[in-house]
Every structure is written in structure tokens, then in C-alpha cells.
């Protein structure tokens, strides 16, 4: 059941240069730096939270936080909240903790299950993590995320879109994705529904590279068309 913990701890060997390598890859492919993608995910999260509750004084979990690239943006967009990052890669956690320090940010090493009590978090965010989790173990982690999520909470999962050619290219070229298996929005939504999540909706992102920047204003109108390089699913628990 927990083979992904051992497998994903292999990310220790990528932790020291993960940001540099990923930044170079995204710049070459899209023209945008890595922080462009890190920030718009948190902007989307901020928007989704605002549709169901106040954005103040939340307890937020970044599930699979890696080296912490989303954490400064979580602090920026949710300044009065308590932010927790958790990952199976101990080296990544150590690097995140040494890089992004604040009084309201806490770090955890993930082992065989989530080390939190039931209904502890208002918001759970996960960015491009599930394609690294073995297919037969994804339901376990979704179920455990539901366990620690409050009844009026929100779960937002970002993933790569397997229908997008640019995404396919990344998977062929990125060493840290060589053993990964993408998950479609349909498959992920089905799993969430089976485990009791509701108000499930999906939006697609990242249609245009930087050199087509004037077209970025069209993205809000394309969010239902399943061709963007990434997508996110937001859902609630009642």
C-alpha cells in the first residue's frame, strides 16, 4: 500500500537542482519562468476559496509541497492563515524549510499516512503530485485527504493534462517524470466522486506560450475546453 513513499523518496536526489531544472524546462517550452506557473495556481486557489468561504484565518495544507515553490505564494495570497507543507522527500522538506521561513509555515515529512487528525484543514492544495503516485494507491491518498479536511473545506488538485502535446513532451524529457503516469481530469473526478466529494468542477489552464501573450486574455473563456497543458479540479466535502 505504501510503495509510493519509498518510490517518491527518490526525489531526494532531485531536490538540490529541481527548481533550476524545472525552471529551465518551462522557460524553453513556454517562455515563462517557473514562478509564473507556481503563482497562477495559488491565484486560482484563492479564487476558489472565495466562492465558498472567507479567505482569512485558514489552515491550509500543501500536499506534496516538494522544495516549497508554492509556499511563498500561499503566504502572499493567504497572509493570515496557517500554512503546512508535507512531502515524502525529506531532503526536499529540509530545503523548503531553510528557504521559506515564516512564523505561520510548518513542515512535515510524509511517511505511511497523513500525520493529522480528522477534519483539521480548511483547504488542501496539491500541485502535480498525483501523477507520481502509483495508480492503485491514489484512492488511498484521496481518502486520507478527505479524512483530514473539514466538512466546509475545499480540495484543489492541479495536474498535467495528458491530452496536451506540450505535456506529453515534458513527460518524455523530464527525468523526474520518467516513472510517472498522468491522470485525466475525468479519471480524477470519478475517484473524487466515489469517495464522497461533491461540487466537483474542472478548469483547464496554460493554453498559450509567452510569445502568444496577447492571447492569454482568452484563457478564461477556454477553461472548459480540455486542451490546456494543465487542469485543476476543485471540490468540497459536506
Mean pLDDT for the stretch of residues 217-226: 94
Per-residue pLDDT at 6 = 52
Q: Measured between alpha carbons, how far is 226 from 228 in angstroms, rounded to an integer? A: 6
Mean pLDDT for the stretch of residues 141-167: 95
Q: By CB neighbour count within 10 A (0-12 exposed, 13-18 middle, 19+ buried), where does 228 fall?
A: buried
- Mean pLDDT in the chain? 90
Q: By CB neighbour count within 10 A (0-12 exposed, 13-18 middle, 19+ buried), where does 28 fall?
A: exposed
Per-residue pLDDT at 21 = 76
CATH of the domain at 207: 3.40.50.150
For 45, 146, 181, the CA distances from 156, given in Å and listed in that order, are 7, 12, 19
DSSP summary character for residue 186: H
Per-residue pLDDT at 64 = 95
Mean pLDDT for the stretch of residues 189-198: 96
Maximum Cα interatomic distance, the chain, rounded to a whole number of Å: 47
Q: Measured between alpha carbons, how far is 107 from 129 in angstroms, rounded to an integer? A: 17
Dump pLDDT digits (tens) for 91-137.
999 999 999 888 899 999 998 899 999 999 999 999 999 999 999 99
| Angle between helix 18-30 and helix 165-173 axes, rounded to 10 deg | 140
Q: Which domain holds residue 130?
A: 3-236
Number of domains in the chain: 1
Dump pLDDT digits (tens) for 7-58.
555 666 666 677 887 788 889 889 999 999 999 999 999 999 988 777 889 9
Cβ neighbours of residue 233 under 8 Å, at least 6 residues apart? 156, 157, 159, 185, 188, 189, 192, 200, 201, 202
Q: Measured between alpha carbons, how far is 159 from 132 in angstroms, rounded to an integer? A: 10
Amino acid at each position: 500500500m505504501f510503495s509510493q513513499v519509498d518510490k517518491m523518496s527518490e526525489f531526494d536526489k532531485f531536490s538540490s537542482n529541481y527548481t533550476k531544472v524545472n525552471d529551465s524546462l518551462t522557460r524553453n517550452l513556454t517562455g515563462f519562468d517557473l514562478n509564473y506557473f507556481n503563482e497562477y495556481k495559488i491565484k486560482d486557489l484563492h479564487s476558489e476559496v472565495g466562492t465558498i468561504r472567507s479567505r482569512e484565518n485558514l489552515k491550509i495544507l500543501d500536499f506534496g509541497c516538494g522544495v516549497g515553490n508554492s509556499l511563498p505564494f500561499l503566504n502572499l495570497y493567504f497572509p493570515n492563515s496557517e500554512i503546512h507543507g508535507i512531502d515524502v522527500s525529506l531532503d526536499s522538506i529540509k530545503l523548503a524549510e531553510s528557504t521559506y521561513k515564516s512564523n505561520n509555515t510548518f513542515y512535515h515529512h510524509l511517511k505511511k499516512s497523513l500525520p493529522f487528525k480528522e477534519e483539521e484543514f480548511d483547504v488542501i492544495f496539491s500541485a502535480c503530485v498525483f501523477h507520481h503516485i502509483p495508480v492503485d494507491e491514489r484512492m488511498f491518498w484521496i481518502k486520507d485527504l478527505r479524512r483530514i479536511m473539514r466538512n466546509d473545506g475545499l480540495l484543489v488538485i492541479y495536474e498535467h493534462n495528458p491530452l496536451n502535446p506540450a505535456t506529453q513532451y515534458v513527460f518524455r524529457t523530464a527525468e523526474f517524470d520518467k516513472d510517472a503516469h498522468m491522470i485525466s481530469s475525468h479519471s480524477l473526478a470519478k475517484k473524487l466522486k466515489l469517495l464522497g466529494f461533491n461540487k466537483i468542477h474542472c478548469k483547464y489552464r496554460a493554453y498559450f506560450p509567452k510569445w502568444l501573450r496577447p492571447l492569454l486574455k482568452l484563457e478564461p473563456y477556454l477553461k472548459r475546453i480540455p486542451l490546456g497543458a494543465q487542469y485543476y479540479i476543485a471540490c468540497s466535502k459536506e
